[in-house]
Amino acid sequence: MKSKTYKIPKEKLRKLVNSDIACIASDMITVDGKSVKYMYREAPENAFDSGWRFFSGEETQEYADDYQNFSLYKINTIVNYDAAILGYLDFPYETYLERIPGTNKFVVVENTSGIVD
């Protein structure tokens, strides 16, 4: 397993979401510090999983195929990286969202080949 140096050190994370529910995010967000461009919610894998998956939009298929480029996080951690996602976390399963370029807003989109799942 490769060692990761996160853009925001654990001790600098603020409590922005009062939940310990988990999600999966790309290292391009947590290690490289890129914003969330795509987010989707699928049925949870277990009781601790929110179903949310977060991507910068710069992941290639090869990158996405390597599970070491993704990690499980508390949803609060990803909100610290990109607070724009906060208003969308209650959206239902099978929701696919894309950031409107140059804004902190997302729109619902159809599941396309541009969103890795």
Amino acid identity for residue 65 in this structure: D
First-to-last alpha carbon distance for the chain, in angstroms, is 22
Pairing of strands 22-26, 70-74: antiparallel
If 0-12 CB within 10 Å is exposed, 13-18 middle and 19+ buried, where does residue 89 land?
Answer: middle
- Confidence band for 3, pLDDT divided at 50, 70 and 90: confident
Q: pLDDT tens-digit profile of 71-110?
A: 999 999 999 999 999 999 999 999 999 999 999 999 999 7
| 19 or 1, higher pLDDT | 19
Question: Are 22 and 47 spatial neighbours (Cβ–Cβ below 8 Å)?
Answer: no
Percentage above 70 pLDDT, the chain: 93
Q: What local confidence, expressed as pLDDT, does residue 80 receive?
A: 98
Amino acid identity for residue 22 in this structure: A
Question: Are 26 and 56 spatial neighbours (Cβ–Cβ below 8 Å)?
Answer: yes
pTM of the prediction?
A: 0.91
Q: What local confidence, expressed as pLDDT, does residue 117 receive?
A: 38
Question: Are 56 and 36 spatial neighbours (Cβ–Cβ below 8 Å)?
Answer: yes
SS3 6: coil
Is pLDDT at 114 greater than 60 in this prediction?
A: no
Q: pLDDT tens-digit profile of 49-68?
A: 999 999 999 999 999 999 99
